[in-house]
Amino acid sequence: MLRLVNLELQKLLLNKANKVLIFISFILPFTVLILSSIKINFFGFFTLELGELGIFNFPIIWHITTFFASYFKLFFAIVVVSMIGNEYSNKTIKQNLIDGLSKKEFVLSKFYTIVFFSLLATILIGLGSFFIGLYYSSYTELSIIFKETEFLLAYFIKLVGFFSLCLFFGMLIKRSAFALAFIFILYIFEWIIFAIVLNASSTEMAWKVKNFLPLESMYKLIDQPFQRIIMTKYPEKIDLSYNYAVQWYEIAIVLGWTAIFVYLSYILLKRRDL
């Protein structure tokens, strides 16, 4: 596994554009997290400090940071599809196979790299959240600090699942720009399915079906924290209560899609004439 990851890292780091995108995908969420803790003076009228609102308290900080950090995954998604596009355009995929790398190892090298970068991103977000939480949180008990760290697991699985989808589209289309466009097409397609089920059944059934689809299931891993933030300030608003916890079956659905996308990527490569 380490040999395959090392091989892929060498390819990625030789490309300046990929190095920039990797840097942005790791640093930008971390930077935004730090900047959000700074006091902002609005022309002398008032000063806004998000830390004073309690959003950086444990354990809610794990929920908030992982939710917002997941929106920056598009930068590394470009790297993932370009990994495949460059292999075809530069003919390196054929050379790798000639040099003794099997098709299974080729796909696994991409997947292991995805896991490696997803794990690294999760560790960075985890450390950033931990130190900012220590600074702002009024709760210092270990039981509270490490409560809800399952959001980090959900964040990791969300990244692996989404990048595996990008890997599949990269293998299918062989062009970076078109592969990313297909993700947007899939997003529209999921809403079309939602509309069809809604028309044939009920709203509840439509959402149940949509929650099993790839993009929606990945999104549902970490539910939006806005209602939860309001509830912490206004606990009397019972009508805003909702289940924001990470559910085991949501993790299972995304892991299932991840396995499907990696397997389909292998099948595509296995059957394709290079």
| Confidence label for 43 from pLDDT (cuts 50, 70 and 90) | low
pLDDT reported for residue 28: 76
Residues pairing with 40 in the sheet:
48
Give the pLDDT score at 34: 65
Q: What angle do CA 210, 215, 216 make, to 5 degrees?
A: 35
CA-based nearest residue to 117, from 86, 154, 163:
163
Least confident of 45-54, 154-163, 195-204, 238-247: 45-54
Q: Which two tokens stand for residue 12?
A: 């990625």
pLDDT confidence bin for 228, thresholds 50/70/90: confident
Give the Cα-Cα-Cα angle 173, 175, 177 (nearest 5 degrees). Answer: 110
Give residues with Cβ within 8 angstroms of 120, minimum separation 6. Answer: 26
Tell me the pTM: 0.89
pLDDT score at 26: 76
Split at pLDDT 50, 70, 90, the class of 42 is: low
Residues 6+ apart with CB under 8 A from 226: none
Query: How confident is the model at residue 105, as a pLDDT?
Result: 87
Please give the C-alpha separations between residue 254 and each of 52, 217, 219, in angstroms, as whole numbers: 35, 6, 10
| pLDDT at residue number 210 | 95
Lowest mean pLDDT among 32-41, 104-113, 183-192, 202-211: 32-41
pLDDT tens per residue across span 108-131? 989 999 999 999 999 989 998 898
User: What does the pLDDT look like over 80-99, one tens digit per residue?
Assistant: 888 887 777 777 777 776 67
- The dihedral region occupied by 272, where left means phi > 0, alpha psi between -120 and 50, and beta the remainder, is beta
Exposure string over 51-86, b if 16+ CB within 10 A, otherwise e: beeebbbbbbbbbbbbbbbbebbebbbbbbbbbbbb
pLDDT, tens digit (0-9, with 9 covering 90-100), for 4-39: 777 777 777 777 777 777 777 777 777 766 666 565
